[in-house]
Structure formats: C-alpha cells, structure tokens
Amino acid sequence: MSALSERLAGVKAEGRAALIGYLPVGYPSVEGSIRAMVAMVEAGVDAVEVGIPYSDPVLDGPVIQRAAEAALASGTRVADAFVAVEAIVAAGAPAVVMSYYNPILQYGLGRFAADLAAAGGSGAITPDLTPDVGQAWIEAATARGLDHIFLLAPSSTPERLHMTVAASTGFVYATSLMGVTGERSAVGGAAEKLVGRAREAGAQAVCVGLGVSTGKQAAEVAAYADGVIVGSAFVRLLVDATEPRAGIEALKVKVGELAAGVRGQA
C-alpha cells in the first residue's frame, strides 16, 4: 500500500476528507516552488500533487497555463519534480506527480517510475492518458509499487467509468465539471453524482478536483468525497504575489481555510 493510500485511509478514520494541494514545480523557480509545497504541508494539506509543466496543457485553465509557461521558460526539467517529491515526503506528506503523458514517455516509462519511486513518490496522475491505452505505464508504475491514477468526467460512459475505476489505484480522480482547471463560483451537483457512480463501480477512494477555491466549497465536496483537490486557487496566490515570500504567506492562509473546510469547519 502506498503512503498516499495509507494517508487517505488515516484521514478517513478521522471521519473527514483529505485536502490535496497542487502546485507546478518550477514556478516561480524550482526552489521557490519546493518552498511553497513544503509550506502547504506545514499549513495542513494531507498530500501534495506535484505538477510537471508541459508545453501543451490542454486540460488546464489560464492560471496554471501561465505558471507552466513561466516554469518552462526558466528551464524547469522533468527531473526537478523528483527533487520536489523528496522534499514533500521529508516534510511528512505523501506526494504524487501530475503529468501529461508525453514528458513521461520521453523520460522513459521505466526510468520515470524508478526515479519517482526512489524519490519516495506514491504515484502519478496522468490527465491525458486513458487506461485503455495506458497499459505500458500501468505496468511500469506497478513494477515500482506506484499508484496510477486516472480521471473520470461527469460525461464518462458506464463502460469508461468501470474501466477507469478498475485501472486506478490510490484514488480515482473525479473532475467536478466539464471544463478545464480553474476556480469556479460553484462546484455544482455533477461532482456528487459522479462520486456516487464511481463508488457504485467499486472505487475505494474518490477525490474531486476542478473548481474548488474556498473553505465553504471544500466543506461541500468533503461531505461526499474522500478528498478535495485544489490547484488553481493556490497557484493564483503565487502568480499574484508581489514577491515570493508574500505568495507563500498567502498560500498558508488559504491552505488553513481549506483544511478547516475539509473538517467541516467552513
């Protein structure tokens, strides 16, 4: 069982949902992003999703796109994600990477899995890889004891839903709405329905991503999901910060708000 699965089980035993925070490695710099990720752990996220910036992030909205472009422009490499994973694990939280498929493919599936496992990572989320064409990655990840986490959308057909639930370990990533990453004023009812469908299909843990930015929204989602994934709301604080230290301070406050949310204290 991965450190991620253990943490999710522990959180469940506390009778609440987990808070999972996403940040892209390399923004505003590799060191700066790692400092921000560690600060998130200290401020109360239960796990961290380390984004690997990609040139063509078709499932990301403008905030994460901008951060990824800046990270790439300043020379961020795939291997920088493993340094971040190591730091997060040392800070006491499980870490997974989130990467589009081509960077993993070019790094080498086996080499990527080996380096991620060696860094102490729990697994990877692959937003543009579906299990039916992802067998090679599933095998590489499984060989290193890594979780392979795939995405569900509200539009997922019953066949795809069953296939995705069956192929995912750690948790299943349920996207709350039809759209790209970014903050929304309301998360809406599609997420709850999707989580229910995933559970009926046998999913042990279902975490919900896309659109959550406030403690109140986190509390709503926490009422039915095993975890709440927050990305753009955190990234935006770093993008909007006048200087990195201020960004990290704002990030800690936001993590606190959302951590209270998943505990039903919003």
Partner 1 sequence: MAALDELTDAYEKARVDPAFQEELDRLGRDYSGRPSIITEIPRFARHCGGARVFLKREDLNHTGSHKINNVLGQALLTKRIGKTRVIAETGAGQHGVATATAAALMDLECTVYMGEEDTERQALNVVRMRLLGATVIPVTSGSRTLKDAINEAYRDWVASVDTTNYVFGTTAGPHPFPAMVRDFQRVIGVEARAQMLERGGLPDAIVACVGGGSNAIGIFDAFLDDASVRLVGCEAAGDGVETGRHASAISGGSPGVLHGSQSYVLQDADGQTQASHSISAGLDYPGVGPQHAWLATLGRAEYWAITDAEAMDAFRLLCRTEGIIPAIESAHALAGVIKLGPELGPSATILVNLSGRGDKDVETAARYFEMLPERAP
- 61 touching partner 1, by CB under 8 A: yes
What would the x/- binding string for partner 1 be over residues 158 to 177, using CB under 8 A? --x----------------x
The CA distance from 85 to 99, in Å, is: 13
Question: Which range of residues in 13-21, 35-43, 83-91, 178-186 is near partner 1 by CB under 8 A?
Answer: 178-186
Q: Between 91 and 105, whose beta carbon lies closer to partner 1?
A: 105
Helix axis angle, 30-43 relative to 80-90, nearest 10°?
30
Catalytic residue among 46, 60, 183, 257: 60
The nearest distance, CB 50 to partner 1, in angstroms, is: 15
- 199 touching partner 1, by CB under 8 A: no
Query: Exactly one of 12, 31, 103, 199 binds partner 1 (CB under 8 A); which one?
Result: 103
Query: Exactly one of 55, 74, 135, 265 binds partner 1 (CB under 8 A); which one?
Result: 55
Q: Active-site residue numbers?
A: 49, 60
* Contact residues for partner 1, defined by CB under 8 A: 54-59, 61-62, 65, 69, 72, 77-78, 101-107, 128, 130, 153, 155-157, 160, 177-180
